[in-house]
Amino acid sequence: MFLKACAGSLLIFISSLLYTTLFFFSVVFYGSFLLLPSPIVNESLKWRTVSAFVRANFYMCKNICRLEHRVVGLRNIPEKPCIVFLKHSSVYEMFFALSFFQPSSYVAKYELMFVPIIRGAIKALKCIPVKRGKGRKEVEKVIQRGSNYIAEGRWIVLCPEGTRVRHGETRKYGISGALLAKGTKMPVLPVAHNAGYYWGRRSLIKKPGTITFSVGPKIETNGLSVQEINDIAQDWIEKEIENLG
């Protein structure tokens, strides 16, 4: 029994290492297309490239790590773009967001800008890089750019916790997303998931299994305070994660 358990753990480690290597290759390969100038790669082709990147990683996760996903609450995704509040506990959540919300502007940590190919992708996809701990200036950036991108018909995807947390944990929500929602009178779409259990924060290991993403009913923000928007979204997301296990 002990040897069998060790063999199983070793297999998971090897498959996780193999996938991680291929994941970085996929970032370089597909990211290179996003660096091409606009006349060559227009908006439509950019998102087709993103979709191909996501499909490749879904395929590799499933066939190398035996890790796949399902989505509940698809009927809650509105036809018109809005602001998505996404639980922040796994890299896998990025695949989900890029797959279901197109075109979108992702609020990302500024440190990613130091990686040339990711910096190019962030600019090409009109993401909003923010410096954590810089306070009001970065909040204003999210509101200004987010408002402009909403006017262009883009989804805004952000993780109000600000940084990835371990599965089962949470932290106080930042105010930029709620301020953006209140200022634009856009609804908030809460998304919970248990991806952090299978592919955790700063973890090489990808456990076999099925991740569940749960899309909640949209939150109409008109008439709500910033704190109320955050409280309603966080309460739904955390309770749903408890239900998912």
Q: What residue segments make up the domains of the chain, in order of their start? A: 66-244
> For the whole model, what pTM was predicted?
0.93
- Cα(204)–Cα(23) distance, integer angstroms: 12
Predicted pLDDT of residue 83? 98
The pLDDT of 157-186, averaged and rounded, is: 95
Contact partners, residue 82, CB within 8 Å, separation at least 6: 155, 156, 186, 187, 188, 189, 218
Predicted pLDDT of residue 3? 46
Q: What is the pLDDT of residues 62-117, one digit of tens each?
A: 999 999 999 999 999 999 999 999 999 999 999 999 999 999 999 999 998 998 89
- Cα(173)–Cα(49) distance, integer angstroms: 32
209 torsion bin: left (phi>0), alpha (psi -120 to 50), beta (else) = left
Structure tokens, 45: 């082709």
pLDDT band at 4 (very low <50, low <70, confident <90, very high): low
Structure tokens, 210: 């099925």
